[in-house]
Amino acid sequence: MSNLKEIRARIASVASTEKITNAMKMVAAAKLKKSENTTLRFLPYKNKLNEALSNYLGTLEESVSIPLAEQREPKRIALLAFSSSSGLCGVYNANVTKVFLKTYSDYANALGPDHVEVHLFGKKIIEFAEKNNIPVTSSHKSVSEELSFELTTQLSDQLVEQFLQHHIDRVVMVYNHHKNAGVQQPKTEIVLPLATTIATHRDSASITYDYLVEPSKEAFVNALIPKVIRTVFYAVMLDAMTAEHGARMTAMLIASDNASTLLQELRREYNRARQNVITSELIDIVGGAEALNH
């Protein structure tokens, strides 16, 4: 009987876990849907802004001075990394911390730790940095709660100003890219400078637009590019947040499936154990009856 009690207790425990993981899966799925909708609403604005800059740069025959596109030998780096603020999301945090550590180590070894500014978003990667004695310039523990276009605008404008004043020479982002609900790809992206993207636009021969701008071409381009960078920052943060919800939904789905499979095995084990108890009791009854007959 003690074996049956233990199995019943395990069944109750696993059933409770299954309910919790199912609930967490539904919450993550709702957040994922909301985040994907936000991304879908924002992307047209981002794409049109990039298209406007691309088309205009493609029409220029003469060179335009673009300080934010200046390629120079990196002496000081701004490194941004994004993780979740809670666990139960599979290998989401492990993947991004691994890429972050490698990226930071490469730059720190090449330039020195004092020449790498680290800006972290998410409690997990902040804790990781503390354990590995990585100095942090700024941190935001909860991306999901703090994420707003105002926050990204403030941060991007700050980094743009530092780049223009030659306080930093490169801005690098490390995050998980949301490919789909089941796949999140760790990614490293250089946001500043913008030279590679601009050169590609200038090489395009398919653009035939004609623009009239005031007060000057340089003023127009250098006013538009910071806005483009703001959209890049916000898009990356949205991507990282969406990837987190997708990873958590997938992890909870797998956990729920595993709990369901374990419940089936435990119930079969319980039925076999109960059948053995009943059979043993029947044997005892039959044996006792035969003993009385003799």
Query: Residue 221 domain-assigned?
Result: yes
Query: Residue 131 domain-assigned?
Result: yes
pLDDT per residue as tens digits for the range 136-168: 998 887 766 666 778 888 888 899 999 989 899
51 shares its domain with 137: yes
93 shares its domain with 20: no
192 shares its domain with 288: no
What are the tokens at 182? 């089941």
Tell me the residue range of the domain where 107 lies: 41-250
pLDDT per residue as tens digits for the range 229-283: 888 888 888 888 899 999 999 999 999 999 999 999 998 888 888 888 778 777 7
99 shares its domain with 235: yes
280 shares its domain with 204: no
CATH number at residue 286: 1.10.287.80
Tally the domains of the chain.
Answer: 2
Alpha helix (H) residue ranges in the chain? 2-59, 92-111, 123-131, 143-146, 149-164, 195-202, 217-293
67 shares its domain with 202: yes
77 shares its domain with 125: yes
Query: Residue 271 domain-assigned?
Result: yes
Higher per-residue pLDDT: 55 or 271 = 271
Tell me the pLDDT band of 61, cut-offs 50, 70 and 90.
Answer: low
50 shares its domain with 111: yes
pLDDT per residue as tens digits for the range 187-206: 999 888 875 444 444 444 55
113 shares its domain with 172: yes
What are the tokens at 58? 């493609």
Higher per-residue pLDDT: 111 or 87 = 111
Query: Residue 6 domain-assigned?
Result: yes
Q: What angle do CA 271, 274, 277 make, to 5 degrees?
A: 155
Tokens 């500014």, located at residue: 117
Residue 288 scores a pLDDT above 80: no
